[in-house]
Amino acid sequence: MSSIKEQLTNYARLLLQEGVNLQKGQTLVINVDVENYTFAELVTKEAYKLQAANVIINWRHTPISKERLLHAPESTLKEVDPWVPAYYKTYIDKKAAFLSLISADPKALQGVDSKRVTLQSSAINTAIPFYHKAIMESAVTWCIAAVASLTWANLLGYTGSDEEKLNSLWQTIFTLCRIDHTEPGQDMSSHLKRLEKRTRALNAVHFIELHYTDAKGSDLHIKLPKNHVWEGGTEANKEGILFNANIPSEEVFTAPDRLGVNGIIHSSKPLIYQGNRIDNFTITFKDGKVVDYQAKEGRDFLTSLFDIDEGSSYLGEVALVDHYSPISQSGHIFYETLFDENASCHLAFGAAYPTCLAESDGLSKEELEARGLNQSMSHVDFMVGSESLSITGLTDDGAKIAIMKDGHLLF
Ligand code: ZN
Ligand code: ZN
């Protein structure tokens, strides 16, 4: 086993090479919490070793953001200063690589009125639609990955000194990112290529509908749009540069037909939405739309999610994850979608990825919607996978093919 310093360096390289696949002369934009400045410094060093043109850091500190959400006059929450869209436009135009380093802090915005959070996030989303479009269409390379934080380490119940707790969490991150598995076939790069192979097998079948059932009573039919594409693992941006949008990743996913979802589905893990916890919830769909929802905890936050826009109460993603993936096997609930979604089959409310439809290049929002791809300012994953989930696929010649049986993926 290598020292933590070597592991951190290997991890930084993984994010730059397999994650955003930083090219010589390319600019790198890193979104990161102030708390993680030492890791940001390490990534910056490694990026310049790879001959980055420039490394731009977009510092975050949620307690400061929270002060604005709590105390700024409501009218100002709708305001976005002109430099914000200019900032994003600068780096989209430069075809920069975007690396977001995140850690879980589900209570970060506790006590803030969720309407004020929505007001602010809607204003920002409205100001930078071109940025979201570039990300969703993979016009630029981007990657979301985890960094250890003390809040997160405490949440997962690690003990010892602060340094020991942080190191324990880093070791978990390294395990899930297969950092110490350098032998051929066992490393992250080989794993991500295997996922890509799984997508090819699913794409070869041309399913028209998926049927979900589980021990809690889920019974959901999801139609898939004509010409849908399964994606997962390594993908290519518009210039053909290979990258991985999530590290780690265990999922393969496609877009549902936005009007073709019917039945009931039960959540299998808590959903942390804008710093709030929603748990044990049940969603009923009719012709694609959420028509009823119940939650043992946090139902109001589901309400505010569905209030964002029309598309936020329709589905935009269907993702398959083996229940026996390393993240699932770790037994943790990570309180962070990047990890939890990779432990479990999931669905997402909100926008679909245009890349999940063949020949979608250059189609307008209206055209994408007409072909079944949901449109929304939001995209929120929620987990439905468990050891009892089974999924059967229906093909256009009426054949039924088992895709998942009791949590085991058969593809
Ligand atoms: Zn997903
Ligand atoms: Zn998603």
Q: What is the pLDDT of residues 210-267, one digit of tens each?
A: 999 999 999 999 999 999 999 998 889 989 999 999 999 999 999 999 999 999 999 9
Instruction: Give the integer Cα–Cα distance in Å for 335 and 338.
Output: 9
How many percent of the chain have pLDDT more than 90? Answer: 81
| Distance from the alpha carbon of residue 397 to the mean position of ligand 1, in angstroms | 28
| Distance from the alpha carbon of residue 47 to the mean position of ligand 1, in angstroms | 27
pLDDT at 181 over 90: no
| Distance from the alpha carbon of residue 337 to the mean position of ligand 1, in angstroms | 9
Give the tens place of pLDDT for each residue, 363-407: 999 999 999 999 999 999 999 999 999 999 999 999 999 999 999
Give the tens place of pLDDT for each residue, 269-302: 999 888 788 999 999 999 999 999 999 999 999 9
| Distance from the alpha carbon of residue 142 to the mean position of ligand 1, in angstroms | 15
Domain boundaries, the chain: 4-176, 193-409
Strand pairing class (261-266; 346-350): unpaired
**pTM recorded for the entire structure:** 0.81
Instruction: Give the integer Cα–Cα distance in Å for 188 and 60.
Output: 28
| Distance from the alpha carbon of residue 159 to the mean position of ligand 1, in angstroms | 31
| Distance from the alpha carbon of residue 154 to the mean position of ligand 2, in angstroms | 26
Please list all protein residues whose beta carbon sits less than 5 angstroms from ligand 1, which is an ion.
Answer: 251, 253, 319
- How would residue 4 be classed by pLDDT, with cut points 50, 70 and 90? very high
pLDDT at 337 over 90: no
**Pure H helices in 128-275:** 129-136, 150-155, 162-176, 188-205
pLDDT reported for residue 1: 60
pLDDT at 107 over 90: no
The residue with tokens 């021990």 is 215
- How would residue 187 be classed by pLDDT, with cut points 50, 70 and 90? confident
Instruction: Give the integer Cα–Cα distance in Å for 269 and 278.
Output: 9
CATH match of 4-176 with 3.40.50.300: no
The residue with tokens 């055209």 is 367
pLDDT reported for residue 295: 98
The full DSSP string for 275-330 is TEEEEEEEEEEETTEEEEEEEEE-HHHHHHHHTS-GGGGSEEEEEE--TTSHHHHT
